[in-house]
Amino acid sequence: MEQAWSDRLRRLTAAAPGIAYEFRRNPDGSYCLPFASDRMYEFFGIPIELLAEDAQHAFNRVHPEDLPELMRSIQRSERTMAPWRHEFRLRHQKGHYLWFLGQSIPTKDPDGGITWRGFLLDVTEFRKLSETLRDRDRFLANLLESLPVGVVVIRKQDERVVLINAAGAAMVSHSAEQLLNMRCRDVLCGGRLSKHCPFGESASEAAHQDELLLVQPDGTPIPVLRQFRTYSIPGDQDYYLMVFTDIRERKRLETALRDSESRYRELADSIPALVWISGPDGACVDFNRTWLEFRGRTLEQEKEDGWLEGVHPDDRERVTATYRNALQARAPFVMTYRLLRHDGVYRWIEDHGVPRLDTEGNFLGYAGGCMDITDRQEAQAYLEAVMAGVQAGVFVSDARTDILIDVNNEAARLAEQPRDSLVGRSWRDIITRDRGSDHPSAEERGWDGQIVTPKLHLRRVRVRETVSAVGGRDILVQSAMDITDLHHLLSSQQVDIALARQLLDDVVRPMPRHVNLGRDLSLFVDARVWPCAKAGGDHALVRNFGDLIGSPLTALALCDQSGHEVNCVLRGIYTTLTLDTILRGSRRTLQDRLELFNSLLELSGVFREEDFVTGRFGDIDHDTGILTYAACGHPPAFLIREGQVALLPDAGTPGNNGPCGFLAGTAFTTAALRLLPGDRVIAFTDGLAEMPYRNRKQRFTAPMLARLVQAIIDKNPDLPVSELTDVLLATITTFSGESVGGPNGDNSSADDVSILAFEIESLTQARQWILHPGSDRELAQSVTAIARELVPLWEKQGIRSPEFRLRSVLEEGLSNIWIHGHRKSPDIPIRVRAWVRNDCVLELAGAGEGFEPERVPDPRLPDRILADSGRGIFMIRRAADFLDWFDAGRAFRAAFRRPAAPAIPVPDPMEIMTFPVK
Amino acid sequence: MSQISTDVSGNTATIRVSVAIDGDVAEQMKTAFSALPLDKIKLLVLDFSAVPFIGSAGLGKLLLFYKRVSSNGGAIEVRGASRELQELFQELRLDLLFKIV
């Protein structure tokens, strides 16, 4: 029976989840396991019989760390007979440990022993799970504490705080320990929750969120976002979970964003441009007030593609395509189209779209600005119409780079190239300027040039230029008039302005340079004319008369003609010939000559009614030294005497007359003064005074120029008049931004520039030799001796090839005088004088027979090439820059022009207004 | 040292001048020329490499030499002339008569 019960028990326990056992403490204190279910064997691998005898086999399998406590728990149960319960580790027969929970109930045996009956349950997995849960709890606790948001859990039943993290406690300025178990209302509603109690009306909801102001003890409100929900734990209580997020930064950003948007809106609405904004998909999301007022529609009407309704039907497809293509490329774009205004009028719009990007570079859409360019379009169309209608070719370029910006149809026709192909090129590639072709007036610049087409057709053009500041840069506008036909006509008529000018120059030559006045005085005359490109008729005329008509006289004239071009030059020739003829006639006073000249001009038929001649005229009587002078229609000349500048004639004194050629029979007046050694006189035409006008819009008056001359001589009192003229000209040309003079005689200014200057040179300091050669050798020795003395001196003055040229003059001049004039007589003296002032001058004077140098044939003529003699006069002329014969061919002065003087301080013309007039 | 020297080699004669040719030197040059065996001379070389100047008298003598030498079928060659002398010869068209080297 007992065996049957035991088997039955064993089968029952075999099906149980743990190990059933019977553990006994024998009266002798030893332990044994009288019964153990089969799982015990399966676990330990120890036969049950052995365990029944001695439990030590089982104790040996207890984890050493757990054994002492196990034994103490057993002994406690022995003493108290309380149920035993303990967890410990047992080693499996395979070597690994498993956790077991032992539970059993002790009973006293009759023999004094105690028997525990119970189960051992494998709780290894349970403990692992528990451990995992504990780790998770710790993680959650740490997470909770580290959260930047406040987390509060409140038990619904008593409204007490059961959990609050540090951030949550900080929000109400308490520690978590202080708040734990406090009533929620005491914490959050006790006057600190300004608006809503967390259990207010929202409490009925399962979950919601709102924004509150948590007021700090010091009264500072903290805006928070409260996320609230209730939850229930089955078998437990209901709780409120609240998460408070400090939203001060968000509020600040929202405020800033609102301010920014407000500013953007104010700005966008205040600017006159039409502004729009689109999103990443290209749909327009906003328009400024200007746009909406322009369109007369609401924002809602214009949003998305509503604005396209206002685009002119003819432009819509193009606009859509442009916008779509730009959107795909996310690229900026510019497009023009017609947009319907609120009054039903289409206006031309120039629309600039720019991609909007966030700080990460992400595309947010476009921002666009539009300008109403209808007026500009109309102005452009107007300009196009004007440009198309202008008969001249118009070239518009950047004045700094010369790159063409626009040309009209006529310009394209002249160049025989499409307009588009001309734009972007330098105008200098299209139009070639004729060399030295400037012929400007005072108000404009102009020149002649030519256009060579790709087909090598040649068009001659006259170009007028203006420069205007447009949009911050200087724009050069050139209108090119086609003068090809005119040019051909002139060519076929053989109208040659250069030839006319040469004729005029030849008519006025030769002009005396160094005139012998006797009494150791010499008249130096420097007449210089720089014709401008338009070839005005300025001319100077200087003539010596005396041998034929009484007391010696030098007549001077500096004239200007009205008009320009070839006719002006031709009339200048007529004027010169008339003056010359009058002078060569019977002796007349200057006053008589001027009146006759005036009448002849009017009666000649050469001058038109509107033509006239202006000028300054003077006669110098060699015997008396008296200068008779007059100005006709021109400002006076300057007299520089003893460091002071005076006007000849001064205003209101005799000698001031109107221009010649006005009215026959008009009376003229003259004035006179006695010239003194050292006197310097400068006369000029208006081209000098008006030179600054083109570039500076200023003109010099005669008093201004007088002050300028005064300033120069104040610093250089003894300046020869030729150098004084150089400095005056350099000062004015520099001030005017022009180029006049120079080695090629250029004149870039707008008018002829002419100066007639003279000076009474004293020869008392001249070097002098008196020669009485008796043979060729003695003559040659004299030449060598004089040359040896003068060559270094002239070399110092910068005279080119001084030895060759000096020897040429000395050798040929002395030979001519001695052989031909003196018949080789040693008794007749030959005087040689040399001086340096305005020029380097060599004077040779004999006393024998004179001769007419003009009658000596030119040795270069074909029939003279092989002649044994006759080259002496040629060599003198060739060597000297200027040659003046006097005393019936017995004497001459050979002058060598000194190169331009070294730079001397030049006054600033801007200061001449303040120069005191002495 | 003489300012004018002559040298004859075969039918080539050389007159070497080392001074400015004024009227006096021109006469000396003519004397030297006259002393040459002119009938045999086919080439007259005028060495002017040391001549700083020549006047009209000297030029007249050169033309005299030219007429005499050319009448015998000869030629004149001017050697070493300075730039100033060369320009003078060219202006007077003497470079058509003399070979300027």
**Distance (Å, whole) CA A142 – CA A145:** 5
| Location of structure tokens 């205007």 | A468
**Distance (Å, whole) CA A271 – CA A265:** 10
**Distance (Å, whole) CA B70 – CA B44:** 10
Fold of A147-246: Beta-Lactamase (3.30.450)
**Distance (Å, whole) CA A106 – CA A104:** 7
Name the nearest CA neighbour of A564 among A537, A604, A597: A537
**Is 3.90.1150.10 the CATH classification of the domain at A767-897?**
no
Name the nearest CA neighbour of A853 among A826, A806, A886, A894: A886
Q: At what angle do helices A497-508 and A565-584 cross, to 10 degrees?
A: 20
Separation in Å, CA of B22 to nearest CA in chain A? 6
A915 in contact with B, Cβ within 8 Å: no
Burial class (CB in 10 A: 0-12, 13-18, 19+), A698: middle
> Which residues from A are below 8 Å from B59, CB to CB?
871
B88 in contact with A, Cβ within 8 Å: yes
Q: Show Cβ contacts of residue A598 under 8 Å, excluding neighbours closer than 6 positions.
A: A660, A661, A662, A663, A664, A666, A668
For the record, the structure tokens of A219 come out as 């009264």
- Selecting from A776, A784, A872 the residue whose C-beta is nearest the C-beta of B56 gives A872
> Which residues from A are below 8 Å from B76, CB to CB?
none
B62 in contact with A, Cβ within 8 Å: no
**Distance (Å, whole) CA B63 – CA B98:** 9
> Which residues from A are below 8 Å from B52, CB to CB?
803-804, 807
Sign of CA dihedral B54, B56, B57, B61: positive
B43 in contact with A, Cβ within 8 Å: no
A624 in contact with B, Cβ within 8 Å: no
**Distance (Å, whole) CA A272 – CA A270:** 6
B94 in contact with A, Cβ within 8 Å: yes
| Location of structure tokens 């209730």 | A230
> Which residues from B are below 8 Å from A867, CB to CB?
63
Sorted by where each begins, the domain ranges of chain A are 2-128, 147-246, 252-376, 390-492, 510-684+751-762, 767-897
B42 in contact with A, Cβ within 8 Å: no
**Distance (Å, whole) CA A89 – CA A58:** 11
Please count the other Cβ atoms lying within 10 Å of the Cβ belonging to residue A697.
9
Separation in Å, CA of A700 to nearest CA in chain B? 45
Contact call for A867 and B63, based on CB within 8 A: yes
Q: Torsion angle, CA of A733/A739/A742/A745, rounded to 10 degrees?
A: -110
Question: With contact defined as beta carbons under 8 Å apart, do A302 and A295 qualify?
Answer: yes
Please count the other Cβ atoms lying within 10 Å of the Cβ belonging to residue B54.
29
> Which residues from B are below 8 Å from A807, CB to CB?
20, 22, 52-53, 55
Contact call for B22 and A872, based on CB within 8 A: no
* Chain B residue with the nearest C-alpha to that of A868: B60
A871 in contact with B, Cβ within 8 Å: yes
Question: With contact defined as beta carbons under 8 Å apart, do A538 and A685 qualify?
Answer: yes
B71 in contact with A, Cβ within 8 Å: no
Q: How far is CA A456 from the centre of its chain?
A: 38
**Distance (Å, whole) CA A562 – CA A538:** 9
Contact call for B53 and A872, based on CB within 8 A: no
Ramachandran angles phi, psi of B43, nearest 5°: -140, 125
* Chain B residue with the nearest C-alpha to that of A819: B23
* Chain B residue with the nearest C-alpha to that of A804: B53
B25 in contact with A, Cβ within 8 Å: yes
Q: Show Cβ contacts of residue A187 under 8 Å, excluding neighbours closer than 6 positions.
A: A161, A172, A174, A179
**Distance (Å, whole) CA B25 – CA A766:** 30
- Selecting from A779, A804, A865 the residue whose C-beta is nearest the C-beta of B93 gives A865
> Which residues from B are below 8 Å from A780, CB to CB?
22-25
> Which residues from A are below 8 Å from B68, CB to CB?
none
Separation in Å, CA of A747 to nearest CA in chain B? 30
Contact call for A868 and B22, based on CB within 8 A: no
A875 in contact with B, Cβ within 8 Å: yes
**Distance (Å, whole) CA A576 – CA A538:** 10
**How many domains does one find in chain B?**
1
| b (16+ CB within 10 A) / e for A407-426 | bbebbbebbebebeebbebe
> Which residues from B are below 8 Å from A870, CB to CB?
56
Q: Torsion angle, CA of A35/A36/A41/A46, rounded to 10 degrees?
A: -40
pLDDT score, position A736:
86
Order the strands of the A160-164 sheet from edge to edge. Answer: A160-164, A150-155, A238-246, A221-232, A207-215
Architecture of domain A510-684+751-762: 4-Layer Sandwich (3.60)
Output the domain CATH number for residue B69.
Answer: 3.30.750.24
| Location of structure tokens 């007036």 | A441
pLDDT score, position A2:
61
- Selecting from A804, A815, A859 the residue whose C-beta is nearest the C-beta of B57 gives A815
**Distance (Å, whole) CA A350 – CA A531:** 53
Separation in Å, CA of A803 to nearest CA in chain B? 8
Please state which CATH number belongs to domain A2-128. Answer: 3.30.450.20
Q: Show Cβ contacts of residue A777 under 8 Å, excluding neighbours closer than 6 positions.
A: B24
ipTM over 0.95: no
Q: At what angle do helices B56-71 and A802-815 cross, to 10 degrees?
A: 80
Please state which CATH number belongs to domain A390-492. Answer: 3.30.450.20
Whether A252-376 and A767-897 share one fold: the answer is no
The class level of CATH for A252-376 reads alpha beta
Preferred mutation among B28, B59, B67 to probe A, highest tally of A CBs within 10 A? B59
Contact call for B20 and A807, based on CB within 8 A: yes
For the record, the structure tokens of A860 come out as 């270069």
Q: How far is CA A332 from CA A282, A349, A356, in A?
A: 13, 16, 10
Question: With contact defined as beta carbons under 8 Å apart, do A671 and A653 qualify?
Answer: yes
pLDDT score, position A915:
43
A773 in contact with B, Cβ within 8 Å: no
In DSSP terms, which residues pair with A274 in a beta bridge?
A370
- Selecting from A783, A866, A878 the residue whose C-beta is nearest the C-beta of B22 gives A783
| pLDDT block averages, 10 residues each, chain A of length 918 | 70 79 92 88 86 90 94 94 93 91 93 92 90 88 85 83 84 78 66 44 62 76 83 79 86 83 78 89 91 93 92 94 93 93 93 88 90 87 83 89 90 90 90 64 64 82 84 85 80 69 77 90 92 72 71 86 73 84 76 87 78 87 91 89 91 84 81 94 89 81 88 90 91 86 75 92 94 92 94 92 94 93 93 95 92 85 80 92 90 90 65 48
> Which residues from A are below 8 Å from B71, CB to CB?
none
> Which residues from B are below 8 Å from A812, CB to CB?
55-56
Q: Show Cβ contacts of residue A643 under 8 Å, excluding neighbours closer than 6 positions.
A: A713, A714, A717
| CB-defined contacts A:B, below 8 A | 73
Contact call for A875 and B64, based on CB within 8 A: no
**Distance (Å, whole) CA A315 – CA A340:** 12
Q: Show Cβ contacts of residue A700 under 8 Å, excluding neighbours closer than 6 positions.
A: A688, A689, A690, A691, A692, A708, A732, A909
> Which residues from A are below 8 Å from B56, CB to CB?
811-812, 815, 869-872, 874-875
A776 in contact with B, Cβ within 8 Å: yes
Side-chain-facing half-sphere of A412: CA atoms under 13 Å: 13
For residue B40, give its domain range. Answer: 4-100
pLDDT score, position A193:
44
Q: Is A181 left (phi over 0), alpha (psi -120 to 50) or beta?
A: left
Preferred mutation among B3, B19, B24, B48 to probe A, highest tally of A CBs within 10 A? B24
B78 in contact with A, Cβ within 8 Å: no
A799 in contact with B, Cβ within 8 Å: no
A859 in contact with B, Cβ within 8 Å: yes
